[in-house]
Amino acid sequence: MTTVKTPPPSRRERKKTAIRQRIVAKGVELFSRHGIADVTVDQIAEAADVGKGTVYNYFPSKEHIVVAFMVNFEREVQKTLATITSQRALDATLSSFVLRQFRMKERYHSFVRVFLTQMFLHSDQFLPYMVEMQKAIDPPLERLFGRLQQRGSIRHDIQLRDLIMVFKAMQLGLTALWAVEGPPFRATESTVRQEMKLFCEGLEGKP
């Protein structure tokens, strides 16, 4: 059997990746401090030490910078949560899933707060970007709930697609609470555990 090795990225590719990452990082810093609406592409370019045209070479608009950050970060978060199916009670497993996700996002709390505000205020404008984000969010959730159903933690007569849709809606509400409350998030943690307990009533498979 022949092993196909992927060649390492060229110097030019590494440089492009570094520029893209710098634009995103500086954009997120500015959005966190001033809000998305009040930050211009000129300001992002200056902070990233690149030309305005360079920013547009990588991102058609500043909103695309927001989405690039959220999608990439969501993918990284979901990777670390993919193996969270323990033998604990279903509500404890899901509570751990949500709370660990919040802990990983804590250093970006200000940005998430700004993002949610813009999303709720301009839902039509942000809808295409939310669709892109779902592409990163849905597969790990499908694997998580699929494993839970296979091990008998969730009844087999429940459609996972419907269950995931309800879970995401609930998680969005919890994320809004988390964003509004701020550190140390005591009310959020208590609410997550209570809400997951209620959510799981009737879901659990019979032993």
The fraction of the chain above a pLDDT of 70, given in percent, is 91
- At the second CATH level, the architecture of 62-200 is Orthogonal Bundle (1.10)
Tens digit of each residue's pLDDT (9 = 90 or more) over 23-66: 999 999 999 999 888 899 999 999 999 999 999 999 998 888 98
Q: Mean pLDDT across the chain, nearest whole number?
A: 85
Q: How confident is the model at residue 1 (pLDDT cuts 50, 70, 90)?
A: very low
For the chain, the first-to-last Cα distance in angstroms comes to: 44
The string of DSSP codes covering the chain is -PPPPPPPPPHHHHHHHHHHHHHHHHHHHHHHHH-STT--HHHHHHHHTS-HHHHHHH-SSHHHHHHHHHHHHHHHHHHHHTT---SS-HHHHHHHHHHHHHHHHGGGHHHHHHHHHHHHHTHHHHHHHHHHHHHHHHHHHHHHHHHHHHTTSS-TTS-HHHHHHHHHHHHHHHHHHHHHH-TT-HHHHHHHHHHHHHHHTTTSPP-
| 71, burial (CB in 10 Å: exposed 0-12, middle 13-18, buried 19+) | middle
Domain ranges for the chain, please list them. 11-59, 62-200
Tens digit of each residue's pLDDT (9 = 90 or more) over 133-177: 788 788 888 888 888 888 888 888 989 999 999 999 999 999 999
Question: What is the pLDDT, as a whole number, of residue 187?
Answer: 94
Question: What is the pLDDT, as a whole number, of residue 40?
Answer: 94
Instruction: Give the pair of three-digit tokens for residue 76.
Output: 């990284």
Question: What is the pLDDT, as a whole number, of residue 205?
Answer: 62
The fraction of the chain above a pLDDT of 90, given in percent, is 37
Question: What is the pLDDT, as a whole number, of residue 202?
Answer: 80
Question: What is the pLDDT, as a whole number, of residue 189?
Answer: 94
pLDDT mean over 113-120: 85
pTM of structure: 0.79
Neighbours of 66 (CB within 10 A): 23
Question: What is the pLDDT, as a whole number, of residue 47?
Answer: 95
CATH level 3 topology of 11-59: Arc Repressor Mutant, subunit A (1.10.10)
